[in-house]
Amino acid sequence: MKKLIYLILLGFLISSSFAQKKISKLHSKQNLECSTCHACEIPTKTNPCLALCPREKGNVTAHKVGDAPEVFEINNIQGEKDIYGSVNFLHKAHAEMSEMGEGCTACHHYNPPGEIVKCSNCHETDRNKVDIQMPDLKSAYHRQCMDCHSKWEEESKCENCHTLNDNYKSAISPTEIVKVYKLVEHPATKVYETGECKRGKVATFHHNDHIELFGLECVDCHQDESCQSCHNQKLDFKKTVDGSNHSRCVSCHDTENKNQCAKCHTDKETKPFNHFANTGFDINKYHSKNTCNSCHTKKGSYKGLNSQCQSCHTWDEENFNHTITGLKLDENHIDNSCSDCHEDEDGNLSYKKPLCTNCHDEDEGFVVPKNLPGKKVK
């Protein structure tokens, strides 16, 4: 009888063991408490009460940088023994820079769709804990910051983010943070020597033109970058460039066309962009206040526009006031049609240079600009 009881108990233990492995083979290895993943005391199949936790790698939803808060205070990790105050974290500045690298995942390793999960949801504020697999909140914050900063900072000091504070209330201000980490000043112009080229051994890059005139953002050219690429304070850091030297230019420039090489590769340093010198269209007279994208509406495309006025303006002979050109027509010319003066030799409407020979014979001595069909005005 005893043997039978032992056999029944042994069978029950074996069957329950197999059942447990079948149902939760991962849980048995991790030795987790139910409360680790389930928010309620009695989870069921229909209502498992699953708590937020990073079950799947890469489960991160990126948010728009414009929605990011400018600054927020990290003050939920202080204790009685802390000698430092809270930290004013420049969130938006980090968010903008993250677009040039890993993006939101650089810091937010878990952010499911529609959620902005606080670090404290998973990382406990209490440092006295039994489970050492999950770092506490203070450790998590410092790991996130120091792992990145230590790569490019000459010395990672507590004072770089914290200030000594006897009252545990104040913290370093955003203005003071900027003083600690000086803003990276981009060069107005960079001149590269391309020794491999037989002709055009100099390539001039006008950084200001690309930012101020063409309206490019940092991320348009700088991608897959690390912080030390710009912020490095260590002398031993050597930046490596992967891929072609044209890798940052191809999104806007046709680097495959060999006939276009001379636009960038020259024998000496070139001057900054001048619309008339580079395109032949003078914008100083009437379009000097216009931004590039007011005419070049397609981002990254600055060619193929028709320079004729009527390609952008819906003027006709009835509603056009010639005075805006700086020339007020006299009584003899006020009723003329546009084509009477503005016509090229092929009979096409052209506003580059007016012709007088359509009405005036050359022997009359009517010469522009000596003889004008009106008077100049401001």
CA distance 108 to 202: 43
Q: Which of 126, 150, 180 is the last residue of a domain?
A: 180
Candidate from 132-141, 173-182, 244-253, 263-272 with smallest mean pLDDT: 173-182
Task: State the Cα–Cα distance between residues 329 and 335, nearest whole angstrom.
Answer: 9
Out of 127, 158, 180, pick the residue that ends a domain: 180
Query: Token pair of 200, please?
Result: 């055009």
Q: Is residue 10 part of a domain?
A: no
What is the rounded CA–CA span in Å between residue 163 and residue 300? Answer: 44
pLDDT digits (tens, 9 = 90+) for 231-272: 887 766 555 555 567 888 887 888 888 888 888 888 889 999
- Fill in the amino acid letter for 10: L
pTM for the model stands at 0.57
Looking up residue 172, the CATH number of its domain turns out to be 3.90.10.10
Same domain as 174, residue 69: yes
Task: Say if residue 162 is in the same domain as residue 130.
Answer: yes
Q: Which residue has the higher pLDDT, 237 or 189?
A: 189
Tell me what pLDDT residue 17 has.
41
Residue 324 lies in a domain: yes
77 and 119 housed in the same domain: yes
The residues facing 265 across adjacent strands are 203
**Six token digits for residue 318:** 């009835």
- 31-62, pLDDT tens digit by residue? 677 776 777 888 888 888 877 665 555 556 66
Cis peptide leading into 369, omega within 30 of 0? yes
Given CA atoms 292, 297, 298, 301 in this order, what sign does their dihedral have?
negative
Whether the Cβ atoms of residue 137 and residue 77 lie closer than 8 Å to each other: yes
Is residue 92 scored above 80 in pLDDT?
yes
Residue 101 in any domain: the answer is yes
Please report, for the domain that includes residue 255, its CATH number. Answer: 3.90.10
Mapped onto helix, strand or coil, the DSSP state of residue 187 is: coil
Half-sphere exposure of 202 (CA within 13 A, CB side): 11
Backbone phi and psi for residue 341, each to the nearest 5 degrees, phi listed first: -110, -35
- Write down which residue in 138, 156, 180 finishes a domain: 180
User: Quick check: helix, strand or coil at residue 29?
Assistant: helix
User: In whole angstroms, what is the distance from residue 324 CA to residue 327 CA?
Assistant: 7
Please check the confidence at residue 301 and state whether its pLDDT lies above 50: yes
Query: What one-character-per-residue DSSP string does 147-176 give?
Result: HHHHHH-S---GGGT--B-SSS---B-HHH
Nearest of 67, 72, 99 to residue 86 by alpha carbon: 72
Domain check: are 165 and 97 in the same one?
A: yes
For residues 83 and 105, membership in a common domain is answered with yes
Contact call for residues 104 and 63 (beta carbons, < 8 A): yes
Give the pair of three-digit tokens for residue 95.
């968010």
* Whether residues 255 and 233 fall in one domain: yes
Note whether 172 and 212 are same-domain residues: no
In a domain, 27, yes or no: no
In a domain, 278, yes or no: no
Q: What does the alpha-carbon distance between residue 110 and residue 192 come to, in Å, rounded to a whole number?
A: 42
d(C-alpha 230, C-alpha 192), whole Å: 18
Give the whole-angstrom CA distance, residue 94 versus residue 105. 12
Domain that holds residue 245: 189-273
The number of beta carbons lying within 10 Å of the beta carbon of residue 51 is: 14
Q: What's the mean pLDDT in 169-178?
A: 59
Q: Are 349 and 308 in contact (CB under 8 A)?
A: yes
Q: Is the pLDDT of residue 156 over 70?
A: yes
User: Does some domain include residue 41?
Assistant: no
Measure CA 120 to chain center.
29
Q: Please indicate, yes or no, if residue 114 is contained in any of the structural domains.
A: yes
* 72 in the same domain as 107: yes
Q: Collapse the DSSP code of 15 into the 3-class scheme (helix H, G, I; strand E, B; otherwise coil) and give the result.
A: helix
Q: How far is the C-alpha of 106 from the C-alpha of 60, rounded, in Å?
A: 10
Domain annotation covers residue 113:
yes
Report how many domains make up the chain: 3
- Please give the order of strands across the beta sheet that includes 265-266: 189-193, 202-206, 265-266
Residue 85 shares a structural domain with residue 175 = yes
